[in-house]
Amino acid sequence: MSQTMTNNTSQTQSLANPTTPDNQSYPMIYVNGQMLPKENAKVSVYDHGLLYGDGIFEGIRVYKGKIFKCQQHMQRLFNCTKQIRLELPINQDEMVRIMRRCIEANELSDGYIRLVITRGIGTLGLHPFKCPEPGIICIADQIALYPPEMYQTGMRVVVAQRPRIPIECLDPRIKSLNYLNNILAKIEAIDAGCLEAIMLNTQGFVSECTGDNIFIVKDGVLYTPPSEAGILEGVTRQFVMDTLCPAENLTVKEKMLHLDDVLNADEVFLTGSAAEIIAVTRIDQKTTHTIITDGEGSITQKLRLRFRAIVTGDNIPED
């Protein structure tokens, strides 16, 4: 066996089986083959993930120690690496072992995984292929986007003035490390005293929120924007469409939505790995506001409660 092949094999084994320091503290974070306490988990200032947002990530939920929809997340992650022409030194199974190692190291039962893949350390220039080795970071910790009571009362959102980046400029199905478009819309929401904003695409159709997908209910039928509206195809969104709606005998359709469709809906709710399922009860624009419903709608509640029953049950889907 050549020296190069030996080094590659050693690197892969190190990535999938990280070393852990004796003086362990929490949370422990996987960084490029090592399991490190939070205060020591660092990346180079020459990493192109930091310099240029060159990389991708996944946000993944853990329920009762199981990785929710693990296979679907892995497929999306590795599809994204192909789209940005980033070659990983490990396969999907080895990536899953890293996540499970982080869950175990942090004694995590219910929580959240942030898997970050960077282009790696390179030069002070955009050239991605001068980064010889990608960075792999795995954080397993807790997350709470919204107060617990908001899941019963619903949330207020604003309509962002900043549009979604067009698909032709940056395909949103690439879960890029560069979230500045979303962050600037999020700032609009924070300035208005709320936590989320509905983003429209440059044609004026509803796309998604800054960190969540959006659904509406009208006359008992669910609608959600399709991929061509400029959305990230969320894993929780797909779970609602493929599993929860059939279980509740609900019809769901992908449809290009005008803002008026949302403002005149019977119910509106958001989905996301971190957010799960949460109702929207009020939508504010520059000078007007629209009350959608007084508290969580009945269909939203059915879906949310079924989702919670599944993720707290004995058969949490990992495929």
The catalytic residue positions are: 175
CA atoms of 247 and 103, how far apart (whole Å): 30
- Looking at residue 19, what DSSP letter applies? B
Task: Indicate the SS3 state at residue 176.
Answer: strand
Report the candidate in 48, 175, 181 with the shortest Cα–Cα distance to residue 123: 48
- Residues 155, 292: Cα–Cα separation, whole Å: 10
Q: Give the whole-angstrom CA distance, residue 137 versus residue 42.
A: 10
- Residue 289, SS3? strand
Helix or strand or coil: residue 134?
A: coil
The answer to whether 270 and 262 have CB atoms below 8 angstroms apart is no
Give the span between the Cα atoms of 284 and 52, in whole angstroms.
34
Residue 111 Cα distances to 38, 59, 115, angstroms = 16, 11, 13
The two tokens of residue 30 are 């996987």
* Residue pair 76/58 in contact by the 8 Å Cβ criterion: yes
Reading the block at residue 237, the tokens are 């969104």
Residue with tokens 């119910």: 267
